C-alpha cells in the first residue's frame, strides 16, 4: 500500500497542471507537503519537488516564447507583452483599461439636476471633463458637480429663474452659466465613461 501512495504522490508533484488554484510554485509546495505527510522516509519527495520547480521555471502555456512566471498573460498568446496601462496584466487578456487620463477639464456648465428637499428645491450645476485612454485613444466624458444651491418653496416658480437669480442676480435677460446648464449638452457626441 505504501508504495502505491509514494508513486501517486510523486505523480501529483510532477503534474501541477492538474491543480485548479494557486500558482505553479504554490502547487509544488503543496504537493511536497502532501508527499512528506504521506511518506515520512521518502527520498522521492525532494526529487519530485525539484522536477516540479524545473517544470514551473520553463513552462510556456500559451507558446508565445515567454515562460509563464514572466508572462503577463500566460494563457493568451502575446509575445510582445504589451501592457499599455501598466497594471501588470497584458493587453491581450486585460479586460480593464486603467489608463484613462483627464484630457480636458470642463470650464462651462453643461447640465443641471433639480431635487425636492425639505426646505425647497436643490439645484446642482455640472461641467464636463473629457478622459482619454492611454491604451486605445478612446475618449469619454464624465459630469462633474460644480455648484449646488437651494431655492426656497416660495421663491421663483421655475428652477431656471432661481438659477438666474442666484448666479446672475436677476431673472431678466440672459445668464450664461444658467443658459449653458439648461441648454447645454455634456456628451457632445462622446460616450459616458464607465469608470
Distance CA 85, CA 94 (A): 9
Is 81 part of a structural domain of the chain? no
What's residue 93's pLDDT?
A: 86
Contact predicate 12/32, CB 8 Å? no
Q: Are residues 45 and 109 in the same domain?
A: no
Classify residue 76 by burial, with Cβ atoms within 10 Å: 0-12, 13-18, 19+: middle
Contact predicate 123/149, CB 8 Å? yes
Helix (H) or strand (E) holding 182: helix 176-183
What's residue 19's pLDDT?
A: 37
Is 95 part of a structural domain of the chain? no
Is 92 part of a structural domain of the chain? no
Q: Are residues 174 and 114 in the same domain?
A: yes
Contact predicate 89/80, CB 8 Å? no
Q: Residue 110: which of 43, 168, 187 has the closest Cα?
A: 187
Q: Quick check: pTM over 0.75?
A: no
Q: Are residues 62 and 116 in the same domain?
A: no
What's residue 130's pLDDT?
A: 97
Q: What share of the chain is helix, strand, coil (3-state, %, to 5)?
A: 35, 20, 45
What's residue 1's pLDDT?
A: 39
Last-in-domain residue among 46, 69, 92:
69
Is 165 part of a structural domain of the chain? yes
- Name the residue range of residue 176's domain: 100-183
Q: Are residues 114 and 175 in the same domain?
A: yes
What's residue 40's pLDDT?
A: 63
Q: Are residues 64 and 12 in the same domain?
A: yes
Q: Are residues 105 and 61 in the same domain?
A: no
What's residue 22's pLDDT?
A: 59
Q: Are residues 128 and 178 in the same domain?
A: yes
Q: Residue 9: which of 25, 30, 22, 24 has the closest Cα?
A: 30
Contact predicate 112/159, CB 8 Å? yes
Helix (H) or strand (E) holding 153: none
Q: Where are the beta strands (DSSP E) in the chain?
A: 100-104, 111-117, 120-133, 139-151
What's residue 20's pLDDT?
A: 36
Q: Are residues 118 and 52 in the same domain?
A: no
Contact predicate 71/23, CB 8 Å? no
Last-in-domain residue among 47, 69, 91:
69
Q: Are residues 65 and 108 in the same domain?
A: no
What's residue 84's pLDDT?
A: 84
What's residue 6's pLDDT?
A: 40
What's residue 145's pLDDT?
A: 96
How many domains is the chain built from?
A: 2
Q: Are residues 48 and 107 in the same domain?
A: no
Q: Are residues 62 and 111 in the same domain?
A: no
pLDDT in tens, the chain (195 residues): 344 444 344 444 444 443 334 578 888 888 888 887 777 667 778 888 888 888 888 889 899 999 988 999 989 999 999 888 888 998 888 877 778 899 999 999 999 999 999 888 999 999 999 999 988 889 999 999 999 999 887 666 789 999 999 999 999 999 999 999 999 999 999 999 988
Is 45 part of a structural domain of the chain? yes
Convert 99-132 to b/e letters by CB count within 10 Å (16 or more is b).
Answer: bbeeeeebeebbbbeeeeeeeebebbbbbbbbbb
Q: Are residues 65 and 9 in the same domain?
A: yes
Amino acid at each position: 500500500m505504501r508504495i502505491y501512495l509514494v508513486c501517486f504522490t510523486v505523480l501529483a508533484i510532477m503534474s501541477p497542471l492538474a491543480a485548479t488554484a494557486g500558482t505553479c510554485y504554490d502547487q509544488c509546495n503543496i504537493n511536497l507537503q502532501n508527499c512528506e505527510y504521506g511518506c515520512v522516509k521518502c527520498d522521492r519527495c525532494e526529487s519530485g519537488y525539484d522536477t516540479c520547480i524545473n517544470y514551473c521555471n520553463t513552462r510556456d502555456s500559451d507558446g508565445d516564447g515567454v515562460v509563464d512566471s514572466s508572462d503577463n498573460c500566460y494563457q493568451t498568446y502575446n509575445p510582445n507583452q504589451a501592457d499599455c496601462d501598466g497594471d501588470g496584466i497584458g493587453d491581450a487578456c486585460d479586460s480593464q483599461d486603467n489608463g484613462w487620463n483627464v484630457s480636458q477639464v470642463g470650464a462651462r456648465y453643461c447640465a443641471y439636476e433639480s431635487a425636492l428637499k425639505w426646505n425647497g428645491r436643490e439645484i446642482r450645476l455640472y461641467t464636463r471633463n473629457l478622459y482619454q485612454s492611454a491604451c486605445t485613444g478612446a475618449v469619454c466624458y464624465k459630469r462633474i458637480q460644480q455648484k449646488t444651491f437651494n431655492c426656497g418653496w416660495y421663491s421663483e416658480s421655475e428652477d431656471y429663474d432661481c438659477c438666474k437669480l442666484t448666479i446672475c442676480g436677476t431673472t431678466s435677460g440672459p445668464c450664461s452659466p444658467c443658459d449653458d446648464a439648461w441648454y447645454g449638452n455634456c456628451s457632445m457626441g462622446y460616450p459616458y465613461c464607465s469608470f
